[in-house]
Structure 1
Amino acid sequence: MNTFGDRLKFAIKLRGITASDLARHLGVKPQAIYQVQSGKSGAMNASNAAAAADFLRVPIRWLTDGEGATPNAQPLDARSPLKQLPPRLISTWFPLQWEAAVFR
């Protein structure tokens, strides 16, 4: 993984989310993520790169510069299990739970 885009694509796949999930989290269009992954656009700005690294649970230095060990799948953080779920699952599940509670 030589480029920022390669590492970003790897981290997205490792976490079991989509580029669209990351884009939604960062508040950018999915096309922006796809362009970075494909190398058509350079790396993200520092703020988005840091937010992406945090969301993807990878070291920022690894994501931006390729320094350090390649991340592996990590066990869920027991303190914040919801942060570990793919956003599309959370966005589907919570409204259903809310409706179930309201209409009981």
Structure 2
Amino acid sequence: MKTFSDRLKHARALRSLTQQDLARASGLSQSAVASYENGQRQSSRSVRKLAAALQVNLDWLETGKGSMESLADYSASPAGGAYYLMEPGSGEAPPRALPPWPFTTIARAQYEALAARDKRLLEQMLRSFVEACHAEYADGRGRARKH
């Protein structure tokens, strides 16, 4: 992929996001996302927001260099800690890696693009479902749990 717009479209498609989903997740307008994808707008400060929403490497999105995968994907070291490059004496805390995403058919960015009230509703529905499953397990009539 030679152009920023090609890489942006590719990453958005891989994450199963619409332009509107990406706009919400990045805090941009849908027309701005469309303009970037159509090559009508060149990359700008908004690229950081797009890379974060898509969970891709900023350099890859901007220039095509390096891996597409975000550095957060590689943060765990074999010893269980994490390695970070920081300026000596900066006093900054290392960035926190996102917890593992439990769903295989829903991209994290799709969830992040939801409105706050929809996230609350989804959490309530999921909690009710989990509680009902645990109640069935306790009664001995539930499905066998798989680990």
How high is the TM-score relative to the length of structure 2? 0.52
Q: 2:68, 2:119 → 1: CA distance?
A: 32
Match of 1:49 in 2: 47
AA of the residue aligned to 1:79: P
Q: How does 1:17-56 map to 2 (within 5 A)?
A: 17-43=17-43, 45-46=44-45, 48-56=46-54
Q: 2:23, 2:114 → 1: CA distance?
A: 16
Q: Does the Cα contact within 8 Å between 1:53 and 1:60 map onto a contact in 2?
A: yes
**What SS does the aligned partner of 1:79 have?**
coil
Q: 1:87, 1:61 → 2: CA distance?
A: 24
Q: 1:79, 1:41 → 2: CA distance?
A: 33
Q: Does the Cα contact within 8 Å between 1:21 and 1:87 map onto a contact in 2?
A: no
Match of 1:87 in 2: 111
Taking only aligned residues, the RMSD between alpha carbons, in angstroms, comes to: 3.2
Match of 2:57 in 1: 59
Would you say how many aligned residue pairs link Structure 1 and Structure 2? 95
Tell me by how many angstroms 1:93 deviates: 5.7
Higher Cα Rg, which structure? 2
Identity of aligned residues (%): 28
**What SS does the aligned partner of 1:23 have?**
helix
Q: 2:101, 2:124 → 1: CA distance?
A: 19
Is residue 68 from structure 1 mapped to residue 66 from structure 2 by the alignment?
Answer: yes
Tell me by how many angstroms 1:19 deviates: 1.3
AA of the residue aligned to 1:17: L
